[in-house]
Amino acid sequence: MSVAPDDSIQEYRETKPALSDGSASPDSRSTVANHSDLIKEALYPSDSYTPDGTYWADLPTAQRWKFATTQFNQESRREVKYVWDMFKRDPMQPFRAYWRKYVLTGMGLFVEGYVLFSIGNLSALFSSAWPRCWKTFAVCDENWVNAVTYLEILGIIVGQCLVGYEGDWIGRKFGLCQDALVMLIGSILLTGVWGTSLNGWVIAYGWSLFIYGIGVGGEYPMTGTKALESNVFGPEGTRDDRLHRGRNVVGSFLMQGWGQVFNQCVLLICLMIFHSGKTNPPFSPRTAQATYRVQFGLAVIVHFWLLYHRLYKVHDADALLSTTKKRQNVSGYDVHSLRLLMSHYWGRLIATAGSWFANDVFFYGTKVFSSTFIGIIHPGASLVVTWEYNLINLAVSLCGYYLAFVFIDHKLYGRRKMQQVGFAFDFLIYLFAAIFFHQLRVKGAPIAAFQFMYHFSSFWNQFGPNCVSFLVAGESFPASIRSTAHGFSAACGKLGALVPTVLFHYLDDRSKLWFAMPFGALGVFVTAVWLPDTTGLDLREQERYWRCVRAGKPELYHGIAIHPHHLSWYERVVLKRHRFYDPVQDRLDRIDELRVLYESSLIAESDESAHDVDHSYITPSVAEYFRREAPAEERIQRQITKERAIRGEGAPTEKVYPSRLEDTLGGI
């Protein structure tokens, strides 16, 4: 492996060589100390460890709070300064960086939010333009009118399960391109669909939504895994993974909110254009036709661009999955890991699927029946007034999205606490709204309080379970089955969306609040019991642990993936998976693995397992250190021993290190 020299290597070369007995000469000890600092940073990055090598979650409470707060503040100041320097060089550069990092990754969710969340708004427009079809059902079958929403959600469920499986079987890029193609076909159908009768048009409209929904469903596992795995390789990548992985995913996911905002604005503009500048009903069929076809037609253009971008510009989507499969000697779908998912991580699956289910009862319940809630706030509101209130609610939701974007990676708040707090607030808001329902409908201050509660529930839904459930559904699982687990969890969420879509037709307004309220308590419960807190945990640690689990030897892993802080209550208290956590032994293991990563390129011909090791984690200075310090024969034997232990071909032997290496790293 060729390594470009740097200043520290040059400093090393200028020192005196080691003595013949293998110990360091007096003049070279300072250089060895410098290299020990380089190895120390590789093993104990300063964003997660104290200078003496203590993991931040192992610190006493007061010190842990101080460490996490200081690290978050320092990183925030560094990023603000970096963005300001970019702005001074070129005012547009920060916006271009945001576009590349978040907008491009989340564009599929942008068009999903734009198209699918317009269905509820369009239903109100159709009821005004075609009341005998959409309101009295004189010329249209009521079951087919209601099926429009059902088919949309069923298509999403099919896409989530299907593409989630394909993403782990064929690859992430295949799933991304397939989603873009299916959504393009669906958007074309939605723009041009018609029938020989109004009822025939409704049926065609519903099935077009089903086709489009399949592509949308696949966007959830594909966008989630792509955003998760985009910054894993290399030292800088792992640092970004630890500090900003949640932000990378939420930054892509919140494009769904922007899609809803853009769609609501486009609908209002189109309605005023095609209704001669007026906003009062009744709206003619011609106005409704032009409004809904133009707003869908604009989406077709974006879908064409999205397909092109994913076909020709996305190149790194499968990097982590390919590396993982090669290391595990899997060419197709990793069935063995899927079985282990059901036996080893079933509790996490309950947490991700159950919390998503509970969240979507809130989220889709308020979206699908937003006109109902706005009708309570503003009785007799016209269609345009309803859309304006909905736009206000979307703006409040965006505030929640962006606060989640800021605090999702804070070690003291993070995923689990954010989801619990969001569920708790939604539970309390719906509880008080249900208890004081009649009092809150009085004009004046009470109805203003009702309006505040409605918008505030949307804020906490985003600054809580909606963003977190999308993130942890992939983050809590290893790469080889991440897309499958994410797709399954998302599909359970859409079952939660289906519940209010069906039942709210048979409940009065107050009963809707009573019905949704307990799902907030359910979300708090499943989060507290089964959801791990993966905030700040390197994805590589997940893969290190899973490799041992997959080999049937979880006791060989001693790292932070099984730290009590990163385990769920069930994993910690009932399964006691933290009992193998041993920072001292993990230090030895990681030194060994760093040595193996470097040596694998040199001994590839003698050991095939070395071909598929990611070497990007080895910096030039670390490579130079191991090149000078460790005998080749011992390194080869060490790798063979390690591989045999993981594969179950023999018990691990006692670790023996050269005296110089032990002296150098003993204080780390």
Q: Work out the average pLDDT over 342-352.
A: 94
How much of the chain is in helix, strand and coil states, percent to nearest 5?
Answer: 75, 0, 25
Q: Tally Cβ neighbours within 10 Å of residue 525.
A: 16
Confidence at residue 563, expressed as pLDDT on a 0 to 100 scale: 95
The whole-angstrom separation of Cα 209 and Cα 8 is 60
pLDDT digits (tens, 9 = 90+) for 439-485: 888 887 888 888 888 889 999 999 999 999 999 999 999 999 999 99
Residue 577 lies in a domain: no
Domain final residue pick, 530, 548, 574: 530
Confidence at residue 655, expressed as pLDDT on a 0 to 100 scale: 40
- In the numeric block, the tokens 């070129």 are attached to 90
| 329 and 373 co-located in one domain | yes
**More confident site: 501 or 434:** 434
Give φ, ψ of 135 to 5 degrees: -120, -55
pLDDT-based confidence at 27, cuts 50/70/90? very low
Q: Work out the average pLDDT over 128-135.
A: 89
Residue 424 lies in a domain: yes
Confidence at residue 503, expressed as pLDDT on a 0 to 100 scale: 84
Where in 380-419 does DSSP place strands (E)? none
**More confident site: 562 or 379:** 562
pLDDT digits (tens, 9 = 90+) for 584-637: 888 888 877 777 666 665 554 444 444 445 555 555 555 655 665 555 545 555
pLDDT-based confidence at 659, cuts 50/70/90? very low
The whole-angstrom separation of Cα 542 and Cα 52 is 24
Confidence at residue 32, expressed as pLDDT on a 0 to 100 scale: 44
The whole-angstrom separation of Cα 506 and Cα 485 is 33
- In the numeric block, the tokens 């609501």 are attached to 264
pLDDT-based confidence at 38, cuts 50/70/90? low
If you average pLDDT over every residue of the chain, what do you get?
82
**More confident site: 503 or 621:** 503
| 163 and 83 co-located in one domain | no
Residue 310 lies in a domain: yes
| 427 and 483 co-located in one domain | yes
Q: Tell me which amino acid residue 269 is.
A: I
Residue 563 lies in a domain: no
Ordered alpha helix ranges (H), 99-197: 104-116, 118-129, 131-134, 142-169, 172-192
| 138 and 189 co-located in one domain | yes
Confidence at residue 120, expressed as pLDDT on a 0 to 100 scale: 80
pLDDT digits (tens, 9 = 90+) for 303-322: 999 999 999 998 888 888 88
Confidence at residue 52, expressed as pLDDT on a 0 to 100 scale: 85
Confidence at residue 34, expressed as pLDDT on a 0 to 100 scale: 54
Q: Which residues pair with 55 in a beta bridge?
A: 49
The whole-angstrom separation of Cα 440 and Cα 631 is 78
Contact predicate 44/235, CB 8 Å: no
Q: Which pair of structure tokens corresponds to residue 411? A: 């070690």
| 224 and 341 co-located in one domain | yes
Contact predicate 547/646, CB 8 Å: yes
The whole-angstrom separation of Cα 243 and Cα 247 is 9
With H, G, I as helix, E, B as strand and everything else as coil, classify residue 49. Answer: strand
| 414 and 349 co-located in one domain | yes
Ordered alpha helix ranges (H), 170-284: 172-192, 198-229, 235-253, 255-274
Confidence at residue 380, expressed as pLDDT on a 0 to 100 scale: 72
pLDDT digits (tens, 9 = 90+) for 265-299: 999 999 888 887 666 777 888 889 999 999 999 99
The whole-angstrom separation of Cα 327 and Cα 331 is 10
pLDDT digits (tens, 9 = 90+) for 507-566: 888 888 898 899 999 999 999 999 999 998 988 899 899 989 998 999 999 999 999 999
Count of alpha carbons within 13 Å of 638, Cβ hemisphere only? Answer: 23
Q: Tally Cβ neighbours within 10 Å of residue 198.
A: 18
Q: How many domains does the chain have?
A: 3
With H, G, I as helix, E, B as strand and everything else as coil, classify residue 406. Answer: helix
Of 504, 561, 499, 555, give the one whose Cα is nearest residue 533.
561
Is the pLDDT reported for residue 107 higher than 60?
A: yes
Confidence at residue 413, expressed as pLDDT on a 0 to 100 scale: 93
pLDDT digits (tens, 9 = 90+) for 226-258: 988 876 655 555 788 889 999 999 999 999 999
| 71 and 25 co-located in one domain | no
**More confident site: 592 or 71:** 71
Q: Identify the weakest region by mean pLDDT among 82-91, 180-189, 428-437, 607-616.
A: 607-616
Which value, to the nearest 10 degrees, does the dihedral of the CA atoms of residues 248, 251, 253, 258 take?
Answer: -170
Residue 572 lies in a domain: no
Of 556, 135, 515, give the one whose Cα is nearest residue 358.
515
Is the pLDDT reported for residue 46 higher than 80?
A: yes
pLDDT-based confidence at 65, cuts 50/70/90? very high
The whole-angstrom separation of Cα 239 and Cα 231 is 9
Ordered alpha helix ranges (H), 436-481: 437-440, 445-461, 467-475
The whole-angstrom separation of Cα 643 and Cα 540 is 18
Is the pLDDT reported for residue 650 higher than 80?
A: no
| 25 and 163 co-located in one domain | no
Confidence at residue 387, expressed as pLDDT on a 0 to 100 scale: 85
Residue 470 lies in a domain: yes
Contact predicate 457/362, CB 8 Å: yes
Confidence at residue 437, expressed as pLDDT on a 0 to 100 scale: 86
| 118 and 76 co-located in one domain | no
The whole-angstrom separation of Cα 245 and Cα 231 is 8
Residue 570 lies in a domain: no
Burial readout 6-19 (b: 16 or more C-beta within 10 A, e: otherwise): eebbeebeebeeee
| 321 and 351 co-located in one domain | yes
| 76 and 127 co-located in one domain | no
Q: Tally Cβ neighbours within 10 Å of residue 191.
A: 17
Confidence at residue 601, expressed as pLDDT on a 0 to 100 scale: 52
Domain final residue pick, 530, 547, 573: 530
Give φ, ψ of 55 to 5 degrees: -65, 140
Cis peptide before 282 (omega within 30 of 0): yes
Residue 203 lies in a domain: yes
Q: Which pair of structure tokens corresponds to residue 303? A: 């879908």
Task: Tell me the residue range of the domain where 77 lies.
Answer: 57-91
| 85 and 104 co-located in one domain | no
Confidence at residue 598, expressed as pLDDT on a 0 to 100 scale: 63
The whole-angstrom separation of Cα 195 and Cα 125 is 19
Q: How far apart are the first and last CA of the chain?
A: 27
